[in-house]
Chain A
Amino acid sequence: MDFLILAQLVVSGIAVGMIYGVIAFGYQLTFATSKTLNFGQGEALMLSSLVGLTVVQFTGYWIMLPIVLAFGMVQGAVVERLGVRQAIKTKSESGWIMATIALGIIFKNLAENIWGRDALKFPSPLPEAPIGLMGVNILPMEIVIVLGALAMMLAVETFNRRSIFGKAVVATANDREAAGLMGINTSLVITFSYALSSMTAAFAGVLIAPVTLTGASMGGALGLKAFAVAIIGGLSSGMGVIVGGLILGITETLTGFYLSTGYKDVPGLVLLLLVLSFKPSGLFGRSAIKKV
């Protein structure tokens, strides 16, 4: 019985942690190429899942996916063009922070005006009855979240390592100036990384929506948790954000059960502070030496 409870908590923690991880993966993508982040990542996820909710009524779940992914790419490119490009050009240290937060707020207001502010039910493509695995219950959709998130991260990593365009992304990530000198259009690469980042957010959005409900306010808390995950795992490591997500998700459910549900969020934040104090580049991050 006790072991079963532990197993159930870990399984639920993995499902929650994977949600954090897949959003944090989006932070990592843009940080790698441009050393900037989209602080509106949670809002990108929210906006795409609401677009998905509208589209899904006409197309069904699986045909909706590519449409939402395309929407996510466009949304990401818009964020980069409007909020980040100018800051990079002028080598502004903080302009992009304010700009991406501002764009996030604008997207949230837009969503509130179009879809209202109530939490809405997202139709689940799979049965909503749980599956029992050796006494541990899990929703079919939660399995899809875990597998889908892993598959997407694998796809992005493979793309970056194998395709010629992906190699340009990696080259830009390693040394933007050298890549530029080699004839790589680095500003296009950065726009592309933003598009890719919002695409992962869009995918995460429609993946988790059947489990979490969707609505204009869904992005805020998730975006923030994912940011903590990105810091814990390390912004320069794709592997790190997955592990970081799992650590946070499992800690939350375990603390909730064994300590108190009133303190559920505390250990994750303590971990964040510890990581920032002792290994600021994250558990899996490579520490960057800033050349002045």
Chain B
Amino acid sequence: MSLQRRMLGAFAATLLSTTMLASSAIAADPIKIGLTGPFTGGSASMGVSMRDGVKLAVAEINKAGGVLGRPILLVERDDEAKNEVGVQIAQELINKEQVVATMGFINTGVALASQRFYEENEIPVINNVATGTLITQQFLPPVSEKNYIFRMSANDIIQSGMIVEEATTRRGFKAPAILADSTNYGQLGQADLLKALAAKGVKAVTTEKFNIGDTDMTSQLLRAKSANADVILTYGIGPELAQIANGMAKLGWKVPIIGSWTLSMSTFIDNAGANGDGAVMPQTFIQSPSTPKRKAFIDAYQAAYKVDRIPSPISAAQGYDGVYVLAAAITQAKSTEGPKIQAALENLSGKVEGVVTTYDHPFTASDHESITSNIPVFGLVKNGRVVAARDEDISGANAVRLKTKN
């Protein structure tokens, strides 16, 4: 019996060592990066576009030999736009998957709930889409020693400032009405809008609230109309924004709609139809081949995912750029240790050419925002797509806008 046992044992050992050899030869220890966002649910169009943009960049990098000679392996998790799911995913990615960094977040609430776990474990987070101002401020020194949270999107202060600048200075409206939803996103955005208006010395004629799922906007719109509003500023998400545009058509009252970037959501564009035409919003990226790099990105996206219109172009573009910025930092750090990547991100030496902008020292120890207020342009809803509100904004010398240094 003992001979048989020993032979079996020897056989098993040989088998085990051969498979281990084989696997280490094939996959040269990939660099694991977490990817999280809502891939189902109300914000799925943004989450899926972001994910697809990230995957496109990772595929390109891996094809060109990877980072530090190692391929990038994405660990994708759907946070369903739910804070508690986001927290579970953060713990899973950190403890079980042991990711080197995480990219993602569409929803400010999920980002705020999850990012403290990454901060505690010294794992960098590239926040691709969420815009809440607090996100990059939460762990800013001196609150904690090092801030591990970096952002690729235009935060709400930038957006509200741009919205007010467009409405009052550029287009000369005197009597703005604010319509914001009752979520954190809407109410914090409304507060930012009011601050930006106050800085311009303009008073909102009325501020109105609506709930997620509201289908009738008659009261809100009639209040704005009776207050003689000449423009409507919005902070909400797609379906309810569509009800605002449709409600205006129903009342036969039409004033321009200027709002946060969510006016570019397909749920707004598709559900408002012709009523949504003319709405404008800040965009870091417009689906238009205004540079060769952008053309290549749009072509690659359309070919890879077999779509004509990218569901949320700015989510896709910011996700795509985020990968290249992170890859540059890992290359510069020559390491996959969190603190070293964090240090490299704060002091990135080479330029990274992205599709949103060219990133030249995008972050410093005190500034984790890669986008400044001069970078986004205004998008305009026209015939079911988002185009540049002013063509000169995305052509010639204006095509690539660089971050301002202070």
The answer on a CB contact under 8 Å between B218 and A12 is yes
The answer on a CB contact under 8 Å between B273 and A121 is yes
A211 neighbours in B (Cβ, 8 Å) = 215
Which residue of B40, B215, B219 contacts A257 across the interface (Cβ within 8 Å)? B219
The answer on a CB contact under 8 Å between B222 and A121 is no
Which of A9, A12, A116, A119 has the most chain B CB atoms closer than 10 A to its own CB? A119
Counting chain B residues whose Cβ lies within 8 A of the other chain, the interface size class is 20 to 34
B156-196 with Cβ < 8 A to chain A:
182
The answer on a CB contact under 8 Å between B213 and A217 is yes
Q: Does A180 contact B (CB under 8 A)?
A: no
Q: How far is the CA of A12 from the CA of B247 in the complex (A)?
A: 10
Which of B41, B182, B219 has the most chain A CB atoms closer than 10 A to its own CB? B219
The answer on a CB contact under 8 Å between B251 and A130 is yes
Q: In the complex, how many angstroms separate the beta carbon of A5 from the nearest chain B beta carbon?
A: 6
The answer on a CB contact under 8 Å between A9 and B219 is yes
The answer on a CB contact under 8 Å between B209 and A262 is yes
The answer on a CB contact under 8 Å between B216 and A121 is no
Q: How many residues on the A side are at the interface (Cβ–Cβ under 8 A)?
A: 39
Using CB atoms, name the residue of chain A closest to B41: A117
B40 neighbours in A (Cβ, 8 Å) = 112, 116-117
The answer on a CB contact under 8 Å between B250 and A139 is yes
Q: Does A86 contact B (CB under 8 A)?
A: no
Say yes or no: A12-B216 contact (C-beta < 8 A), given A117-B40, A118-B267, A139-B250.
Answer: yes
B209 neighbours in A (Cβ, 8 Å) = 260-262
B59-117 with Cβ < 8 A to chain A:
none
Q: Does B239 contact A (CB under 8 A)?
A: yes
Say yes or no: A9-B222 contact (C-beta < 8 A), given A117-B41, A117-B42, A119-B238.
Answer: yes
Q: How far is the CA of A215 from the CA of B271 in the complex (A)?
A: 12
Q: Does A221 contact B (CB under 8 A)?
A: yes
Q: How far is the CA of A244 from the CA of B192 in the complex (A)?
A: 40
Say yes or no: A257-B213 contact (C-beta < 8 A), given A119-B271, A132-B252.
Answer: no
Besides the contacts A117-B44, A130-B249, A217-B42, what 10 more A-B pairs have beta carbons closer than 8 Å?
Answer: A117-B42, A119-B238, A121-B273, A129-B249, A130-B250, A213-B243, A252-B219, A256-B218, A262-B209, A264-B211
- What 7 pairs across the A-B complex have the smallest Cβ distances? A256-B219, A119-B239, A12-B218, A212-B215, A257-B219, A262-B209, A117-B41
Tell me the A residues contacting B by CB distance below 8 Å.
5, 8-9, 12, 15-16, 112, 116-121, 128-130, 132, 137-139, 211-213, 215, 217-218, 220-221, 252-257, 260-262, 264-265
A-B contact pairs, 8 of them (CB 8 A): A9-B219, A16-B216, A116-B40, A117-B44, A121-B273, A129-B249, A211-B215, A256-B220
